[in-house]
Chain A
């Protein structure tokens, strides 16, 4: 099947002294019918990429294809792509129905008003058709914006942090709603967020961005379990990181020496490792904590305990001053596994160890 969006070496520099390099030669393919998420911290270039796809910005370099057709030179009104804006940008001088019908009317579609009404029904706002946008709550405006962008049935829908202005409860219910709309319409969604939970829970695939570069593109579980770079590992989820020197144990295993007393058994060194030190990591919940010490094991003194409801996070200061955090499921009766100041052992399975070379 043909990809919905293919970008090659796409670059965007904003004028300035020095110019702002918001996007640095990215390659990316977004599949048809996919819920695709651009995830990254503020200023990493997510909006820039979205605006390039929509046609609001002209790329400095590179190509942008929509279903195989080069659209880099098309103005926004000629692209079968619609956008849900972060602050909705509903037309204040039109009522809700007129807003939703706007794109259809410009396209000269017959039955624009009826289709618009159907779209409003689809987002459960059928009875608000005659209201002005200013007479709606934030969540309702959000859904009008969705209906307006979906009504012309674009081939790709772009959503720029559409949930960020909503409160937590609404945000969570809108996640399900967005997923449902994507499935029901079969339209490719490109969703921008800096909220990792949103990205992990909604996406078919995620592209993690940092400083104008795409760090990794993968399914949510893969992003979480096998981060490609330290940036991805740090941005998504919580993990312990150590600089270590690898020693191979045959072809499929290695030991990673952090210090004289700290070493982790783990998988073999990745093929692209350059030698010298590497970064090893493991997720907080992948390690186990046990009271007391045993010879030769990784252990130390518990310096901090944070109760999180279903889990508790323990911070253990190892003998040589380094510290490691462990998250473990709580006992059913609510009793603590260990106390601050007590001795504890940290166990990490070799399978939980990840080796990062970038």
Chain B
């Protein structure tokens, strides 16, 4: 007789240890970071009681405020643009019968996901310099918009695949022109995908380091870059606090997008 546990992957020798190590190395540092951001003293190894002082310090720091503001503006604007472009691309590639070479276009759209980010960063910087573009955080917004598009595109395209094209045909049949059909049928049905895509783009933009580092000019520091600068002079609980806030925003974004996807 074959016991079900015989075929269970957990039965493999060492599997439990590997799993344990994985979770340990992934989550323990995060837990330590979060816990010590609430520490009462400067120590990053000894717990001295609960306090919010590092958060207060961080939030009253002008530089951090500025970096946070930049980060949020960049993330919000590039999320908006990249989601709009990604939605348009998904609908065009998924629905328009006249477009040829759809697979090739779809592939090109997703290719940036496979290009090493440092290469994109260097290329973008070179390009911006060559065309003499210096719009401050505008530069970063353009760069982020472009590389966020494939991330936003993935969930939108997946969702569109699940939307029966005959619904749009039915709408056309019932006296809706293309635009009305898009507004009343396609976009509402696509909403969960668009929302997930936007959340993904937001998080990707919010914590991007390499590209931002390359294209950022003086005065357009973002949070990740500011944190990096602080860390070079030693990890302080202040850094922990800011990192925890970033982590919190990401987690909330993911949870909201999952909840939204499930609700539909």
Contact = CB atoms under 8 A, between A and B. Distances in A.
B180 interface: yes
B52 interface: no
A56 B172 contact: yes
B189 A93 contact: yes
Interface in A84-143: 85, 87, 89-93, 102-103, 106-107
Contacts of B164: 87, 89
Contacts of B170: 83, 85, 89-91
Contacts of B180: 106
Interface stretch (A37-45, A74-82, A203-211): A74-82
Given A54-B173, A82-B173, A83-B173, A89 B185 contact: no
Interface residues of B, number: 16
Interface string B156-187: 00000000101101111111110010000100
B136 interface: no
Contact of B174 (A75, A87, A92, A102): A102
Given A87-B166, A89-B166, A76 B188 contact: no
A103 B188 CA distance: 17
A91 B175 CA distance: 15
Given A91-B185, A93-B188, A106 B167 contact: no
Interface residues of A, number: 23
A107 B175 CA distance: 6
Contacts of A102: 171, 174
A212 interface: no
Contacts of B188: 93
A82 B188 CA distance: 23
Nearest to B163: A92
A267 interface: no
Which of B167, B175, B176 counts the most chain A CB atoms within 10 A? B175
Contacts of A82: 173-174
Given A56-B169, A85-B170, A77 B176 contact: yes
A148 interface: yes
A358 B173 CA distance: 38
B189 A106 contact: no
Nearest to B191: A93
A85 B170 CA distance: 8
Nearest to A51: B169
Nearest to B189: A93
A106 B177 CA distance: 9
Interface string B181-220: 0000100110000000000000000000000000000000
A57 B69 CA distance: 52
A345 B248 CA distance: 91
Contact of A89 (B167, B175, B176, B177): B167
A358 B169 CA distance: 39
Contacts of B166: 85, 87, 89
Contacts of A93: 188-189
Contacts of A162: none
A279 to B, nearest CB: 41
A76 B185 contact: no
Contacts of A107: 175
Between B174, B180, B188, the greatest number of chain A beta carbons within 10 A of the residue's beta carbon is seen for: B174
A162 to B, nearest CB: 13
B174 A148 contact: yes
A83 B175 CA distance: 11
A59 interface: no
For the complex of A and B, list the 4 residue pairs with the smallest distance between their C-beta atoms, beginning with the closest: A103-B174, A106-B175, A89-B170, A76-B172
13 contacts: A54-B173, A75-B177, A77-B173, A77-B176, A82-B173, A90-B170, A91-B170, A91-B185, A92-B167, A92-B189, A93-B188, A103-B175, A106-B175
Interface of A: 54-56, 75-77, 81-83, 85, 87, 89-93, 102-103, 106-107, 148-149, 152
Interface of B: 164, 166-167, 169-177, 180, 185, 188-189
